[in-house]
Amino acid sequence: MSYIDVINQAATAQTQADKKKDSTRDIMGKEDFLTLLVAQLKNQDPMNPDEPTEFTAQLAQFSSLEQLFNLNDSMAGVTQAVSNSQKLSALGLIGKEVTYFDGTFAYAGGPMQLGYSLDGAATSVNLQIRRDGATVATLSGTELTRGNHFLTWDGLDDQGLPAAAGDYTIVIEAAAASGSIAAAPLVRSEVTGVDLEAGTGGLLFTRAGQVSVSEIKGVYEPVTGQEGQQQQAAEEPVAEETVTDTVADVVEDIISTDG
């Protein structure tokens, strides 16, 4: 780099600094207002001084201006405090499941909770899971009322084969009895980490992707382990053959006892 280039860069940097300084000078603060008021009093005509009412009005304007500056500073402090509180609260979401609107998700294997949100009653809802533009699996929604609804994708494609890990998209097709209906995809996933420096309130890392804390629509306790097995067992109907065999054993025991 030549000497002339160095001089030009220094001149450009100084010009930008001067422009920035001039832009800040365009904003009048309470010190500038008070300086103008004092200068006006010093330079008023002794033979025709300002009216007391006019001076009082100017003092009232200065007082209002100072209160507005103090209020602005207070609101900035409140905003910062709320943001810090949200970030600290986000730490408590680690290990929990959250729901949020998103048309894409990362898949690493196993069942996943995917859903859809309807703004009205629908006659049919189909949730298509696509990868690279091709439909991998299609789920039919049974809940057709307004609100948020979820389905469990077992991780299998339409041929019954395990889907490959990677990035997928969700496409919702909803039909209504009359007129149009809006439907938005939902993702439910476990939170694995939090970035407190990113975004307003922090950024969550889930098994399905990243989402801002402000975009979270719901928080749930994960159902895993023994609790999940108990819940699944409670939801599964008892096989008819098992009930018949149990009754037969009881009758046989009674007959043997009486004999």
Query: Are 11 and 124 in a shared domain?
Result: no
Q: What pLDDT, in 10s, does the model give residues 62-87?
A: 677 677 777 777 777 666 666 667 66
Number of domains the chain contains: 2
Query: Are 208 and 150 in a shared domain?
Result: yes
Query: Are 76 and 123 in a shared domain?
Result: no
Quote the pLDDT of residue 75. 75
Query: Are 129 and 206 in a shared domain?
Result: yes
- Reported as a pLDDT band with limits 50, 70 and 90, residue 144 is very high
For residue 12, being part of any structural domain is answered with yes
Tell me: pLDDT of 247 over 90: no
Quote the pLDDT of residue 35. 79
Tell me: pLDDT of 156 over 80: yes
Tell me: pLDDT of 172 over 90: yes
On average, the pLDDT of the chain sits at 75
- Average pLDDT of span 86-92: 75
Query: Are 208 and 131 in a shared domain?
Result: yes
Q: Which two tokens stand for residue 102?
A: 């998103």
Query: Are 140 and 199 in a shared domain?
Result: yes
For residue 252, being part of any structural domain is answered with no
Lowest mean pLDDT among 98-102, 184-188, 189-193, 240-244: 240-244
Quote the pLDDT of residue 236. 38
Query: Are 69 and 105 in a shared domain?
Result: no
Q: What pLDDT, in 10s, does the model give residues 174-227?
A: 999 887 789 999 999 999 998 887 766 688 999 999 998 889 999 998 876 444
Query: Are 24 and 132 in a shared domain?
Result: no
For residue 214, being part of any structural domain is answered with yes
* CA neighbor of 151 nearest in space, from 183, 187, 114: 114
Tell me: pLDDT of 168 over 90: yes
Q: How far is CA 225 from the centre of its chain?
A: 28
Quote the pLDDT of residue 197. 77
What is the domain extent for residue 131? 97-221
Quote the pLDDT of residue 106. 95
